[in-house]
Amino acid sequence: MESYKKSIIFIAISFLLMLVLIGCNSSDAQEQPINTGLDPDEWNNLAFKDIYPLHWESYMKNMENEKEVLPKNDPSIEPFLPILWNGFGFAVEYNLTRGHTYAFEDQMNVRRITQNPNAISACMSCKTTVFPAMLEEFGPERAYQLNYHDEALPWLEDFAGEYKGMMTDEHGNVAEWGHASVGCSTCHDPVTMELRISLPQLTDALDRLGFDFENVTQHDMRSLVCAQCHVEYYFDPLNDRQTTFPWGYGLTFEDMWEYSEYQASREGGFQGEYVSTISGTPILKAQHPEYELWSYGPHQTVSCADCHMPYQRVDGKKKVSSHRWGSPMNTMEESCLTCHGDKSVTYLENRVNDIQYRHKDALLRAQEISVSAHYYVNRMITRGVDEDKIKEAQALVREGQWFWDMPAAENSYGFHNPDGAMASFTRSIEKSQQAIILATRELMKLGEDMEELERQIEITKENVINEEIHHEKHKQAINEWFPNVRDN
Ligand code: HEC
Ligand code: HEC
Ligand code: HEC
Ligand code: HEC
């Protein structure tokens, strides 16, 4: 009797133990230190293919576009960009995003690069796994300011060109430079596969903020790997044009504005990416500040990877972090319901749509007012208003533009931080309106026909919308009424 009981208990325990073991196995827990056997400086994505076939398969899904890659200045998206960025490459070509596997190739082929003989290698610092090798080769003094076409590309072709065109998905789509595009070594140590920061622009920026690298958590790293690129930046003329984040005063749009203005006030400091041909204003062009906007939003305790790289079961049983970076709205079960289990997918979709709808509405309003501000200042210049007044109005145009451009360049349409984005639009509208009021006062002193001015602005906007060739639209923004005030 006694021994019968014992053996039942024994069998029960063995059974439980077995379940635990099977459980561990199927959740793919990785407690053992990993050694891939790869070179510590491995940069080629193809090198990881056979070691991590499931991650590779997921990564290659980035080759399938989730949405049509439209030009952003399409009338259905942001129709007035060719006016607002007039005088800068972004007015010529700027497209919606697509997968990481295409990042490098898309950069090489965009007119902002192909038509700009002065483009520099700093542009590559958030596109390719080869950038750390370029740094090694040229040193930080030269690596960022090589001529893109005459120096950087030939070196790259030599260094990494032999694998070109080797990344093809099952539909035969080729990512020409996919083997060197945003990839494994960008976020992982090639030997241990631990998450790492491979691009010094982030380490430097965190250093300046006094970030505690010793105590960085895995949770932090699940967002910091993205912060290498999904941030606002400029190429610092006071520091060999190195890619630099304006984080000296903090990460809100307001903080970054103050810091950028402080930089601009310094002798030889960064003034902006270009001077507007319409208003003569030096403009700070916003990049993609996803990390910053998220950092003071309602989901700041949720990492980028939690939503954008949820665990997915593949191969029947194994759980791997999704390596297809796209819209979490396509993976809501894994991305959202893990926390919002009390809500339905439809409820959450509606909430997100509401946020994004309000955001786009405010964005378009802020852009239209900014357009008027640019043209009013153009008129101040051609009518010969006092230099001081023009400068004052330009400062307002500059601020108005930054505060719509930051939330516009941020790619979540406000989802990452609805209130932060809205506060930015409010400030934008306020500043652009102040510029218009100032200009109106000065122009009326000169007897300007304000109704005619308004009419000419509307005609010009129509011409921009009606031009069908996207990269020609910017030419319609300048005319006899509103001449280029920069290049003469
Ligand atoms: C943009 C950054 C990024 C890139 C690029 C990237 N990974 Fe990851 N990877 C992550 C993150 C984040 C995790 C989750 C790590 C964690 O929290 O433990 C992860 C996890 C992993 C894991 C651990 C198991 C798992 O699924 O969580 C492996 C293995 C892995 N990645 C392989 C790869 C390979 C192979 C490539 C290139 C084809 C690659 N990764 C590219 C960010 C990246
Ligand atoms: C080395 C720079 C780099 C890093 C690191 C990086 N990204 Fe990206 N990401 C890009 C670039 C560049 C694009 C646009 C590519 C294009 O349009 O060709 C992009 C595009 C995206 C897209 C849009 C994809 C689409 O189909 O439209 C998402 C989502 C995204 N990244 C999320 C992330 C997340 C989350 C992380 C961190 C886990 C991350 N990225 C890390 C550079 C980076
Ligand atoms: C709480 C979930 C969540 C977190 C956390 C989160 N995102 Fe997002 N992200 C979203 C949603 C939802 C969208 C909007 C997708 C859409 O419009 O279809 C989005 C959009 C994006 C896009 C644009 C995608 C595209 O198709 O163009 C990028 C890039 C991006 N996020 C990067 C990041 C980065 C980087 C972080 C961390 C700093 C982050 N996200 C944190 C949920 C999240
Ligand atoms: C790791 C947990 C976590 C995940 C994953 C997560 N959320 Fe949240 N969500 C939160 C928390 C925490 C809040 C903040 C609640 C608060 O502010 O009181 C929140 C708030 C929200 C809100 C209301 C705040 C607002 O912006 O108006 C919405 C909507 C929302 N989440 C949608 C989503 C969607 C969509 C996803 C997936 C793409 C998602 N969440 C993923 C934890 C999460």
From atom 38 of ligand 3, which residue's Cα is the shortest distance away?
291
Which tens digit of pLDDT belongs to each residue from 75-85?
Answer: 889 999 999 99
Give the nearest ligand 1 atom to 222 CA: 12
Any ligand 3 atom below 6 A from CB of 173: no
Q: Which two tokens stand for residue 17?
A: 């133990």
Distance 443 CA to ligand 2 centre (A): 46
Distance 220 CA to ligand 2 centre (A): 18
Q: What is the pLDDT of residue 121?
A: 94
From atom 5 of ligand 4, which residue's Cα is the shortest distance away?
336
Does 132 score more than 90 pLDDT? yes
Q: Cα(130)–Cα(240) distance, rounded to whole angstroms?
A: 19
Q: If pLDDT is split at 50, 70 and 90, which confidence band does 160 have? A: very high
Which tens digit of pLDDT belongs to each residue from 350-404?
Answer: 999 999 999 999 999 999 999 999 999 999 999 999 999 999 999 999 999 999 9
Distance 248 CA to ligand 1 centre (A): 30
Any ligand 3 atom below 6 A from CB of 338: no
Q: If pLDDT is split at 50, 70 and 90, which confidence band does 16 have? A: very low
Residue with tokens 């972090």: 321
Give the nearest ligand 2 atom to 106 CA: 18
Which tens digit of pLDDT belongs to each residue from 227-260?
Answer: 999 999 999 999 999 999 999 999 999 999 999 9
Distance 183 CA to ligand 1 centre (A): 9
Which residues are CB-neighbours of 196 under 8 A, at least 6 positions away? 187, 188, 189, 225
Give the nearest ligand 4 atom to 417 CA: 26
If you ran DSSP here, which 8-state letter would residue 243 be given?
E
Mean pLDDT value across residues 37-46:
97
Q: What is the pLDDT of residue 4?
A: 55
At residue 241, φ and ψ (nearest 5 deg) are 60, 30
Q: What is the pLDDT of residue 5?
A: 55
Give the nearest ligand 2 atom to 128 CA: 1
Q: What is the pLDDT of residue 6?
A: 55
If you ran DSSP here, which 8-state letter would residue 150 be given?
I
Which tens digit of pLDDT belongs to each residue from 18-35?
Answer: 444 444 444 444 467 899
Q: What is the pLDDT of residue 200?
A: 95
Q: What is the pLDDT of residue 31?
A: 61
Q: What is the pLDDT of residue 341?
A: 95
Q: Dmax over Cα atoms in the chain, in whole Å? A: 111
**Lowest-pLDDT range, 51-55, 106-110, 159-163?**
106-110
Question: Would you say the C-alpha torsion 468, 469, 472, 474 has a positive or negative sign?
Answer: positive
Q: What is the pLDDT of residue 67?
A: 81
DSSP assignment of 364-420: HHHHHHHHHHHHHHHHHHHTT--HHHHHHHHHHHHHHHHHHHHHHHSTTTTTT-HHH
Distance 231 CA to ligand 1 centre (A): 20
Give the pTM.
Answer: 0.93
The alpha-helical segments, DSSP class H, found in 418-470 are: 418-445, 450-466
Q: What is the pLDDT of residue 69?
A: 80
Which tens digit of pLDDT belongs to each residue from 423-472?
Answer: 999 999 999 999 999 999 999 999 999 999 999 999 999 999 999 999 99
Cα 200 to Cα 38, 190, 207, 244, 271: the distances in Å are: 22, 17, 10, 9, 23
Give rounded-to-5 percent helix, strand, coil for the chain. 55, 5, 40
**Lowest-pLDDT range, 105-114, 146-155, 276-285?**
105-114
**Do residues 45 and 183 touch, judged by C-beta distance below 8 A?**
yes
From atom 32 of ligand 1, which residue's Cα is the shortest distance away?
55
Any ligand 1 atom below 6 A from CB of 323: yes
Mean pLDDT value across residues 174-194:
96
Burial of 210 (0-12, 13-18, 19+ CB in 10 A): exposed
Cα 199 to Cα 14, 130, 196, 205, 238: the distances in Å are: 49, 10, 9, 11, 20
Q: Cα(253)–Cα(412) distance, rounded to whole angstroms?
A: 15
Q: What is the pLDDT of residue 24?
A: 40
Q: If pLDDT is split at 50, 70 and 90, which confidence band does 317 have? A: confident
The SS3 assignment for 175 reads strand
**Do residues 335 and 306 touch, judged by C-beta distance below 8 A?**
yes
Q: Which of 66, 98, 100, 203 to mutate to test the pocket of ligand 2 (most atoms within 8 A of CB)?
A: 100
If you ran DSSP here, which 8-state letter would residue 152 be given?
I
Any ligand 3 atom below 6 A from CB of 292: no
Which residues are CB-neighbours of 75 under 8 A, at least 6 positions away? 465
Q: What is the pLDDT of residue 439?
A: 98
Q: How many CB atoms lie within 10 A of CB 141?
A: 11
**Lowest-pLDDT range, 7-11, 126-130, 401-405, 453-457?**
7-11
Give the nearest ligand 1 atom to 48 CA: 35
Distance 310 CA to ligand 2 centre (A): 15
Mean pLDDT for all residues in the chain: 92
From atom 3 of ligand 3, which residue's Cα is the shortest distance away?
307
Distance 226 CA to ligand 2 centre (A): 8
Any ligand 1 atom below 6 A from CB of 43: no
Any ligand 3 atom below 6 A from CB of 291: yes
Any ligand 3 atom below 6 A from CB of 224: no
Residue length of the chain? 488
Any ligand 1 atom below 6 A from CB of 156: no
Q: What is the pLDDT of residue 8?
A: 52
From atom 2 of ligand 4, which residue's Cα is the shortest distance away?
339
Give the nearest ligand 4 atom to 349 CA: 35
**Do residues 336 and 367 touch, judged by C-beta distance below 8 A?**
no
Distance 100 CA to ligand 2 centre (A): 5
Q: What is the pLDDT of residue 224?
A: 98
Q: Which ligand is in closest contact with the Cα of 308?
A: 2
Which tens digit of pLDDT belongs to each residue from 396-421?
Answer: 999 999 999 999 999 999 999 999 99
Q: Cα(347)–Cα(81) distance, rounded to whole angstroms?
A: 33
Q: How many CB atoms lie within 10 A of CB 440?
A: 16
Give the nearest ligand 2 atom to 95 CA: 17
Q: Measuring CA to CA, which residue among 70, 112, 79, 76 is closest to residue 473?
A: 79
Q: Cα(455)–Cα(434) distance, rounded to whole angstroms?
A: 20
Does 111 score more than 90 pLDDT? no
From atom 40 of ligand 3, which residue's Cα is the shortest distance away?
304
Q: What is the percent of the chain with per-residue pLDDT over 70, rounded to a whole number?
A: 93
**Do residues 290 and 413 touch, judged by C-beta distance below 8 A?**
no
Distance 20 CA to ligand 1 centre (A): 25
